Structure 1
Amino acid sequence: MNNNSIFKSQPNFRDLGGVHTKSGQKVKENSIFRSSFLGKMDENELFILKDLNVGEILDLRTSQEIDLIGKGDYPESINYQNIPLNAGNITKSLIPIFTKGEFHLLDSNILEQIYFDLITKFTTELASIYREILNANNGIIYHCSHGKDRTGIISALLLDFFEVDRKHIYSDYLMSNEFLKKSNDYQLQMIKDNFSKQFNREVSEEEFAPVKSLFYVHEGILKNIFEYIDKTHGSVRNYFQSELGLNEEEIELLKSKYLE
């Protein structure tokens, strides 16, 4: 699987392909890409995007997130589509907590709840996303704001559907922590500095731990998601059929299209 160095301004961009499945097949490269928000690309990066033969961009952010920083400026050849996954929109509730330094109000289970909401309450949206991937004529990119949670669960389920070993899926999932570290450190320091100005003291590590946790992905949460799907559906393939409503033909086409 490719690393994230192709776009300097997009720390969490990467190719989902290049990895082998348990049966020895390979997920096609340069076909499915995952990313953080793509809105700050320079001319050279836009040229690279075109060179990748990307035909579609799926934006998983909410309208509030898009209003805040825009939808991005892409070549006319690329079809932009917004399929909002509202379960990930915690920005509105978090901003006042961060600005007021009321870190004790943070729910320690908020990220895990978001993940479970995504796979149980947003099945219509998930089905639409996977069908867009299935029907893409050229390369397709899907992204949320940071490319770690909503994008992360979409990627993890798809790789498991392709029967990629879960050890590799966890590894790919955790790459977001490495790729986002620089930007996370910057944002976390800003929150710390704001706290210090308000309360004339440094925030303790214990106080700040719930904040820091939100900026990173956690293997345990993804494991719990897989355990839940295994227990309730038997496999991600069955989940795609019984919960998302993909039929047998779509299931087989999705595999044949992206496995070689």
Structure 2
Amino acid sequence: MKKLSGGILVVSLALFSGMAIFSFPAAAVESRNQILSDSVGEVLRNNDQLRLVWRDMPASGKVILHWQDVASGRISPLEEDVVAGELKLEDPNPGRRTLFLIERPNSEKPLTISERKLPAGGMDNLRDSGGYLTKDGRSVKWGFLYRGDTPHKVNSDGYRYLSTMNLGYVFDLRNDAEIAKKPDPAFGNVNWIHTQIPDLPPQFKDVSWETNEAIYHFVKTPRAEQFYPETNRFMVWQPETLRSLKTIFDKALTDDRAMIWHCAGGKDRTGVVSAVFLSALGVPDDTIIRDYILTNDYRKAFDQRELAEMSKAFNGDKQAIKGFLAIQQARPEFIRAALDEIRLRYGSVDNYLTRAVGLTQEEIFSLRDRYTE
């Protein structure tokens, strides 16, 4: 089986000081601990400054960083200091997708880390699904599996960034009407594939998002609170969903290039596909749920603007605002509903993949071999 290699960066630790004792500010400690509860590590961005966090990170000492540009494969070294448990550096490769790999003492296996939220201008919720720990102690490879909001609003800088990601496929989960209004841009030789995920259960067939008035009439009712739990349950067993998942998995099994799947906001249709894919790789439910609710962090500025606009349109109606938040937010119970529905109907995710989606058990093992390390 051919394994994926992708763009690789090397970080050689020049000095370890035994067990690391970290002295982050409280918010940074919480952020770091949450990252490392789910992931092998991550690169965090503040404009052009990067902060690298990984398991068994030294408290201090010099490190030699080798970063690699994913598109070209170009590798260049840097030497940096870990100070008080933090490694900060200016982005050595601004505007382009970059991965880092850490050479660890007493281990022949290097550690790869990268940015989860990608700085593609115009997109609010584009992120890498890599780095997550699996139940068997492996981790999902960085740089291959991306989830996002619709790229129709990507700006010129974002377009250039997307062109550096070694993309092979963009899977558009939206319906025909959404695509007609806001079509994806073309990305060079990237294959665009329409893989619709239906997201309107029969009991909500009267719901419309076309006007503020229509939205108001829906969100002021208690039904709004149940919309996404019911919708996510509905999505997992629809024939269109099963065909779309099969298409995505088939490409993932036969092509070494990266892929993006997206809907409009990158939350629920995208979230269901991501949940199924990560679960197929052995990622625990709790991690999948935390990945799902990252949408609240990554779309925070956009969501605040949208909420202010809708609150004005609703004339401050508190019940309508409460209902709108139930539509806008990513809540744990929403994606939990999809995972529960899979197990209720099929017993396990593996059964779902074999009996409903149409994969073989050998293909599931192959996915884990290709996309975890």
TM band (smaller chain):
0.7 to 0.9
Q: What is the identity, as a one-letter code, of the residue corresponding to 1:86?
A: P
Q: Match for residue 55 of structure 1?
A: 168
CA 1:73–1:224 in 2, change beyond 3 Å: closer, same or farther? closer
Distance of 1:79 and 1:92 partners within structure 2 = 35
Deviates further, 105-114 or 243-252: 105-114
TM superposition shift of 1:91: 11
Q: What is the identity, as a one-letter code, of the residue corresponding to 2:213?
A: T
SS in 2 for 1:51: coil
TM-score, normalised with respect to structure 2: 0.63
Say yes or no: does 1:226 pair with 2:339: yes
Q: Say whether the 8 Å CA contact 1:106–1:211 is kept in structure 2.
A: no
Q: What is the identity, as a one-letter code, of the residue corresponding to 2:235?
A: L
Distance of 1:28 and 1:63 partners within structure 2 = 32
Q: Match for residue 119 of structure 1?
A: 236
CA 1:217–1:98 in 2, change beyond 3 Å: closer, same or farther? same
After superposition, give the CA deviation of every residue in 1:163-218 in whole Å (9 maximum; x if it has no partner): 1122221111110111112212222222222233xxxxx322x3321111101111
CA 1:208–1:117 in 2, change beyond 3 Å: closer, same or farther? same
Q: What pairs up with 1:171-250 in 2 under 5 angstroms?
A: 171-196=290-315, 202-204=316-318, 206-250=319-363
CA 1:106–1:251 in 2, change beyond 3 Å: closer, same or farther? same
Q: What pairs up with 1:31-180 in 2 under 5 angstroms?
A: 31-70=144-183, 72-87=184-199, 93-95=207-209, 98-99=212-213, 101-102=216-217, 103-105=219-221, 107-108=223-224, 109-121=226-238, 122-180=241-299
TM superposition shift of 1:125: 2.5
TM superposition shift of 1:92: 8.7
CA 1:252–1:73 in 2, change beyond 3 Å: closer, same or farther? same
Distance of 1:105 and 1:112 partners within structure 2 = 16
Q: Say whether the 8 Å CA contact 2:121–2:156 is kept in structure 1.
A: no
TM superposition shift of 1:96: 5.4
Q: Match for residue 26 of structure 1?
A: 139
TM superposition shift of 1:12: 0.6
TM superposition shift of 1:105: 4.6
TM superposition shift of 1:162: 1.0
Q: Match for residue 93 of structure 2?
A: none
TM-score, normalised with respect to structure 1: 0.88
SS in 1 for 2:259: strand
CA 1:224–1:117 in 2, change beyond 3 Å: closer, same or farther? closer
Report sequence identity in percent. 23
Mark the runs of 5 or more structure 2 residues left unpaired by the alignment: 1-41, 43-114
Compute the RMSD of aligned alpha carbons.
2.3
SS in 1 for 2:220: helix
SS in 1 for 2:237: helix
Distance of 2:305 and 2:205 partners within structure 1 = 17
CA 1:92–1:141 in 2, change beyond 3 Å: closer, same or farther? farther
Q: How many residues align?
A: 253
Structure with more strand by fraction? 2
Q: Match for residue 83 of structure 2?
A: none
After superposition, give the CA deviation of every residue in 1:129-152 in whole Å (9 maximum; x if it has no partner): 322333333110110000000001
User: Of the two structures, which has the highest relative contact order with CA contacts closer than 8 Å and spacing of 6 or more?
Assistant: 1
Distance of 2:344 and 2:206 partners within structure 1 = 33
Q: Say whether the 8 Å CA contact 1:88–1:149 is kept in structure 2.
A: no
Q: Match for residue 199 of structure 1?
A: none
TM superposition shift of 1:21: 1.2
SS in 2 for 1:17: coil
Distance of 1:234 and 1:92 partners within structure 2 = 32
After superposition, give the CA deviation of every residue in 1:76-116 in whole Å (9 maximum; x if it has no partner): 21111111112259899333573253233562322122111
Distance of 2:209 and 2:282 partners within structure 1 = 39
